[in-house]
Amino acid sequence: MGDAFPVTIYHNPGCGTSRNALEMIRASGYAPTVVDYLEAGWDRATLTHLLSAMGARPREVMRTKGTPAEALGLLADDVTDEAILEAMLTHPVLVNRPIVETPLGVRLCRPSEAVFALLERRPDRFVKEDGEAV
């Protein structure tokens, strides 16, 4: 099927939710483009495109757990979208994961089974790393 239905996952291999979403995509018969954004980093055009496609503000996809968000002062209500976006470009870990893009849309797939809404087909059964069947 290949490029007829492209799937891109912005992935953190250290994150169980991200790993589960990736395996759900593969179990559905897709060979996704996997972007390890912690290694690759973000560029403004890509991140702005993904946020726009999700209809989300930077704050809505900012990861606070296990990141420098608090130390950088990003949790205050008066922090601008631009300041958060700039911080995400400098510290890629601030972007929550996984973000998946397909012809059906873009979304932050938390919980991981949210990825199924972006795929044309899905497996009959899938079991997450923790044993939960979805």
Q: Going by DSSP bridges, is the β-strand pair 8-11/99-102 parallel, antiparallel, or unpaired?
A: antiparallel
Per residue of the chain (134 residues), what is the pLDDT tens digit? Answer: 445 899 999 999 999 999 999 999 999 999 999 999 999 999 999 999 999 999 999 999 999 999 999 999 999 999 999 999 999 999 999 999 999 999 999 999 999 999 999 999 999 889 999 999 99
Residue type, 82: E
Q: Any catalytic annotation for residue 15?
A: yes
Catalytic-labelled residue, pool 7, 9, 12, 15: 15
Residue with token string 């929550």: 96
- With 0.85 as the threshold, say if the pTM is over it: yes
The Cα–Cα gap between 48 and 41 comes to: 14
Among 118, 127, 105, 117, residue whose Cα is nearest residue 20: 127
The Cα–Cα gap between 42 and 36 comes to: 10
